Structure 1
Amino acid sequence: MFFNFPSLPFLIMYSEILLCIFKEKGIEEGDRIKLTKGSSSFEGMLLPKIGFGDPTCVILKLDNGYNIGVEAISGIQIELVSKKAKKDEEKIHVGRMQGILPKSRISLLGCGGTIASKIEYETGAVKPAISASELVSTFPELAYAAQIDAKQLFSLSSEDMTPEHWSIMAKEAHDAIKAGADGVVLTHGTDTMHYSAAALSFMLRDLSVPVVFTGSQRSSDRGSSDNKMNLFCSFLCAKSDIAQVGICMHATPNDDFCYFHSGVRARKMHTSRRDAFQTIGAQPLALIDYEKETVTPLCENYPKKDRKRQTVLENAVNSNVALIYIHPGIKGELFSSLSKYDGVVVAGTGLGHISSGADGTDKMTKPV
């Protein structure tokens, strides 16, 4: 026997019995429900049942961010706790969000990445946030940290960033500083964040306020997501007196404090760890305590915030440049294929060594 529920297309993978119960109780995907079996109960958002699996297993997203499957066997009670918010109830305030600290004005520039993702109620999946303003609305406590001017530049995965995007980011940060921002925060994907931070370190000369990159290693649907702490610590860093481009991310796997890494010394050293970023060859610029909401400089000599200093924008960039890493077995012929480039950056081994040819005599010395 087939039950046709046109109003519940997302639940087609659930059993016919569950579909009847959902329809009877007016339960839809995205609603908050409670499952009770004896002394055990589970409460969370109803997710669609997609793919293979037991059709009698109800999928919930718990408040801690994790998903759980509960077998809806005989004797279990299913209750509707609350309906999901309607679209017209989810309007996001665009523009400046007024906080309780009017002296601190922070510009938030959204560039995409995992930190700008959110739960999509229609599918239970993660999708990029619509705008930087929507990201702020996800963490309303940010509005109490400063006045926030939120602007979405683009929604890209960091592997899709190009030098042209660096130029746009630099100009937008410069414009925000000229407009009176006390600091700039850029949300960005983590895989190439250190490239962007290094680029802006050179494009923004004589910087007068902090410019802080941040991101997230774990998406917002995971209980171990680092998005909230990284973003909040980045705002604290942007309000500090460290006038430098850098990256603010978890310092340890725990939710205790973040490091502010210099943009020209930071590097992502792990694929998924929350403390993936490290300062190479030096100390981090500062330690940001999440609980105490303090910023402690770790270096004595750093450029201090000075609103009287005029930040200079130098964002002209030639993207027709190749980057070649020297590796065992590399052949000189590789360089002959680079003649159409305007320049080549060669990353050598050790102190910048370049290998010989396959026979040990053909040193790669020919100009490109």
Structure 2
Amino acid sequence: MTTRFVSGDLVQCNHGGKIRKGVYITERDGMAVLKMDSGYNIGVAPRSCSVIGHPEPVPGKNLEVKQNSKLPNLSIVSTGGTIASRIDYRTGSVTSQFNANDILIAIPELAEIANYRTIPLATILSENMTPTIWQDLARAVYDEIRGGARGIIVTHGTDTMAYSAAALSFMIDTPVPIIFTGSQRSADRPSSDNAMNAICAAAAATSELGEVAVVMHATTSDDICSIHRGTRVRKMHTSRRDAFRSLGISPIGEIEFPSRKVTLEESAVRRDAHTLALHNKIESHCALVQFYPGMSPEILKAYNGYKGLVIAGTGLGHVSTALIPALARLINAGTMVVMTSQCMHGRVCDRVYDTGRDLLAAGVIEAGDTLPEAALVKLMWVLANENNRENAAGLMQSDLKGECTRRSAYGL
């Protein structure tokens, strides 16, 4: 008689002469697919397996987390992502299901740091983030600060976290820390970074910081988290726990773990340096394009009618000569075209080579050392808040929230 398995069953199997234990996900191509404790999936013969139990139930959604009202008041705004994910045993993949309250249940150490309000804004993986959700997020964060929160934690998927952190940097003048955090590996994996990142984020949110930042592992060990400025950070690895790096500047601080000691650099904006203000208008009809050798000018026709276009050019900010007339036509039709560089470090300077000079003559705007993703978000924000084209161009070349440094430091 063939054993019938149900997704989520704990099973043990005789595989390769060894007993393997895991969680049954599904049957595919005649093999039982198991999720191992390591987080990886394997396929085994179903006839070699037997049910030995069931996974522990997920804590109830209505479970109350005991908090200490004497601690600082923080708000956790949840948007989803891996930090708020668990395994979907129907597919064996990670799915975003937990809200902010679930994070408090899963990481009880957070209750030692602050008293929390939880706002489940969205339950999405970060590739599904949109400018409209950025606006909702900015409004929610603004309302929490206005309501008395001494700091904000935004839980977010790591893949597009840099875009969202940049968006809030421009949308909110904040007197308190707004800390984005997430995890590279879901909570079901022994190597998960979710707990440490969340605890470090809470420590940063109670610190003297006064700007939007990203807090994630600084090393592959569980010893230090880095604090990255929201407009100068990029995810540099698909899966490493220390995937995030500050580009063009050093991190603006760090948190030691498990002591939770926060050290801020002199360059970090301090608490109460700004008066709270919300500017969450955004022009979403903008795009980011990376130039590549042989790129056809025909591609740029897809952006006819766009309000803004950011180009990630080569080196000092170049595209092929063949593209310049097409860019000029876009600019003459009303599209603001901004040039950034594909390089990790350094700045755009289109006055060195003939191609660069031709781009400037066509009306392309240099964005200094602004990162392409930050330049896109900034362009969306500038075009929504400044109607005068000359003024908008000036803003794109100015440093508003630490996104564009006056000079590029050697070695960064």
- TM-score with structure 1 setting the length: 0.76
Corresponding residue number in structure 1 for 2:373: none
Aligned partner (choices 183, 195, 207) of residue 216 of structure 1:
183
Given the alignment of the two structures, is residue 193 of structure 1 paired with residue 156 of structure 2, yes or no? no
Corresponding residue number in structure 2 for 1:283: 250
Paired amino acid for 1:91 = G
Corresponding residue number in structure 2 for 1:335: 300
Classify 1:176/1:53 alpha carbon distance in 2 versus 1 (closer, same or farther; 3 Å): same
- For 1:236 and 1:318, locate their aligned partners in 2 and report how far apart those are by CA, in whole Å: 34
Aligned partner (choices 288, 292, 303) of residue 323 of structure 1:
288
Aligned partner (choices 242, 253, 256) of residue 209 of structure 2:
242
Classify 1:276/1:333 alpha carbon distance in 2 versus 1 (closer, same or farther; 3 Å): same
Aligned length: 328
In terms of Rg, which structure is larger? 1
Unaligned runs of 5+ in 1: 12-28
Contact 1:217/1:273, CA 8 A, preserved across alignment:
yes
Deviation at 1:303, TM superposition (A): 2.0
What SS does the aligned partner of 2:328 have? coil
- For 1:313 and 1:72, locate their aligned partners in 2 and report how far apart those are by CA, in whole Å: 57
Corresponding residue number in structure 1 for 2:313: 348
Aligned partner (choices 78, 83, 92) of residue 61 of structure 2:
92
- For 2:193 and 2:84, locate their aligned partners in 1 and report how far apart those are by CA, in whole Å: 12
Alignment RMSD (CA, Å): 3.5
Higher mean C-alpha deviation, range 343-352 or range 142-151: 343-352
Aligned partner (choices 62, 66, 71) of residue 103 of structure 1:
71
Given the alignment of the two structures, is residue 255 of structure 1 paired with residue 255 of structure 2, yes or no? no
Given the alignment of the two structures, is residue 357 of structure 1 paired with residue 322 of structure 2, yes or no? yes
Contact 1:129/1:135, CA 8 A, preserved across alignment:
no
- TM-score with structure 2 setting the length: 0.69
Classify 1:192/1:357 alpha carbon distance in 2 versus 1 (closer, same or farther; 3 Å): same
Deviation at 1:331, TM superposition (A): 3.4
Deviation at 1:46, TM superposition (A): 5.2
Classify 1:330/1:113 alpha carbon distance in 2 versus 1 (closer, same or farther; 3 Å): same
Deviation at 1:239, TM superposition (A): 0.8
Contact 1:92/1:137, CA 8 A, preserved across alignment:
no
Aligned partner (choices 134, 141, 150) of residue 166 of structure 1:
134
- For 1:123 and 1:322, locate their aligned partners in 2 and report how far apart those are by CA, in whole Å: 33
- For 1:86 and 1:363, locate their aligned partners in 2 and report how far apart those are by CA, in whole Å: 58
- Cα deviation digits, residues 133-171 of structure 1 (max 9, x gap): 112211122122211111111111211111111111111
Corresponding residue number in structure 1 for 2:95: 127
- For 2:184 and 2:140, locate their aligned partners in 1 and report how far apart those are by CA, in whole Å: 25
Unaligned runs of 5+ in 2: 334-412
Classify 1:9/1:234 alpha carbon distance in 2 versus 1 (closer, same or farther; 3 Å): same
Corresponding residue number in structure 2 for 1:23: none
- For 1:335 and 1:72, locate their aligned partners in 2 and report how far apart those are by CA, in whole Å: 53
Contact 1:94/1:150, CA 8 A, preserved across alignment:
no
Given the alignment of the two structures, is residue 138 of structure 1 paired with residue 134 of structure 2, yes or no? no
Contact 2:176/2:271, CA 8 A, preserved across alignment:
yes
What SS does the aligned partner of 1:357 have? helix
What SS does the aligned partner of 2:310 have? strand
